[in-house]
Structure 1
Amino acid sequence: MGRIPLQLFEPRYLDMLSDCMKSDRGFVVVLIKEGDEVAGECEFYGVGTYVRLVDFRKLENGLLGITIEGTSKVLLTESTKGADGLYSGRIEHLIEEEYVPLPDEHLELATLLEQLERHPAIQALNMSVDYEDGRQVGWRLVELLPLSKEEKQFLLELTDPLERLKQIEYFLSLMEQ
C-alpha cells in the first residue's frame, strides 16, 4: 500500500508511536466521520488502514516527522477513548483485493500517476508502484489526488479495483469541469 508523511507533536501520539516501536506493531488510521477528536467525542468511519512506521526524523519546526505505510484495510469494530484522549479499538483485517491487470481503458490513470510521482514531495516517500496492477494504480491515485475526505473514504471502502478506477475517472471528470 502507499506511504504518507505525518507530523506528530501531541504527547498521546508520541507515546503511542513509542509503544508501537517497542512492540514492533503498527496502528490504524481511520477518518473521523463526525465530531472533533481533540475537543470531545467523535465517530469514526468503519473502514481504515493498518499502517507501520517506515521512517522518522526531527523536522526543522521541531516536530517529529514520520512516514507510515499502509499494509491492509481494516474494519473498525469497536473504539474507546482513553484518559489521555487517545482512541483505541478492535479491528478485523479485511480480505486483500486480488491482483487485477490494469485494463487498457485505464492506461491514462497510470500515466497520470507517473506524472504525480515526479513531484519531489512524492519522490521523497520512496513508493514502489506496479503500474500494471490495477489495485496499486487505484490506491496510489486515491492517496495523491486532491479529493475530499469523503471521496477518498468512498474509494477506500470499494472492494473492486476496477470499480475504483472507474470512480477515479468520474471524480477526475468532475475536476475538469
Structure 2
Amino acid sequence: MHVPLFPLNSIVLPRGRIPLQLFEPRYIDMLTRCLKEDRGFVIVLLREGMETSISAAFYDIGTYVRIIDFQQLDNGLLGITVEGEAKVAVTRSWQAPDGLNMGDVEPLMDEEQWTVPESFVELATVLRALFRHPVVNDLKMHVDFDDARHVGWRLTELLPIDKQEKQRLVELQDPIERLGRLKELLEELD
C-alpha cells in the first residue's frame, strides 16, 4: 500500500488521537487527497531533523491514521485531528517531487488482548488521572482501562519520556512487556 508519511516529534498508536496543525503546501495537498480518496496516512516518529525539514530521517514503524475532524484555527492554520488505526512497517520510502514523504507499508499483526494484570493496575490509575487533563479530555478518546493494550498505548503517547524510548514502546508487540517497561519508566520519573 502506497501512503503518505508524516514525520513528527510525536507518536500516536491504535485508537489514539492527536491534533495537528497544517501549514505547509505539501501537507495541505496531502490532506485534500486523503479526504477526497477517503484514505489515511502514516505518522512516523522523527529520528533526526525537524518536522518542517524536507530531509528528515524517521523510524520505519509507525501508525496508519485517518482524519476524523478538521477546522480552520484562530491562528489561520488548518487544524486536523487524526485517530490511529493500526501499527505498520514502512518497507520502502521515497520523496515525491513536492517534498512529501511517501512509503510502501505493511500492517503489523494485531497485539493480543490482555486484561491489565494486578501488578500493573496502578498504571491504569495514572492513565485515569491523565485523562482528567482538559487537553487530553478534549480529544474524546475511548479507553478501556482494563485492556493492557489501551493502557500501554495511551501511556506511551502521553507520558513525558524520551522519544527513542517511545519508539521502543511503539515497536513492542506484547502489551504486558510494554506495561512492564512503562512501570520502570514511571519509577525512574519519581
TM range (shorter): over 0.9
Taking the aligned partners of 2:40 and 2:85, their CA distance within structure 1 comes to: 9
Offset of 1:125 from its aligned partner?
A: 0.3
Selected match of 2:187 from 168, 173, 176: 173
Are residues 37 and 67 of structure 1, via their aligned partners in 2, closer, same or farther at CA, if it must alter by over 3 Å?
closer
Structure 1 segments of 4 or more deviating over 6 A? Answer: none
The superposition leaves residues 64-111 of structure 1 with CA deviations (integer Å, 9 ceiling, x where unpaired) of 111110000000001101111110010000000011111011111111
Q: Report the equivalent of 1:129.
A: 143
Indicate whether 1:3 and 2:17 are aligned: yes
The equivalent of 1:104 in structure 2 is 118
Name the counterpart of 1:73: 87
Residue identity matched to 2:85: T
Q: Could you list the runs of 5+ residues in structure 1 that have no partner in the other structure?
A: none
One-letter identity of the residue aligned with 1:3: R
- Correspondences of 1:54-65 after superposition (within 5 Å): 54-65=68-79
> CA-atom RMSD, angstroms?
1.2
Give the total of aligned pairs: 176
Whether 2:70 is the aligned partner of 1:53: answer no
Structure 2 unaligned regions, length at least 5: 1-14
Aligned with residue 56 of structure 2, among 18, 27, 42? 42
Q: Measure, in 2, the Cα distance between the counterparts of 1:145 and 1:37.
A: 20
Contact 1:38 1:85 in 2 (8 A): no
Q: Identity of paired residues, percent?
A: 55
Check 1:142–1:39 CA distance in 2 against 1; reply closer, same or farther (3 A cut): closer
Distance change (3 Å), C-alpha of 1:36 and 1:113: closer
Q: Which whole-Å CA distance do the structure 2 matches of 1:56 and 1:20 have between them?
A: 12
TM-score, length basis structure 2: 0.89
Q: Distance in 2 between the 1:59 and 1:39 partners?
A: 23
TM-score, normalised to structure 1, is 0.95
| Higher relative contact order (Cα pairs below 8 Å, separated by 6+ residues) | 2
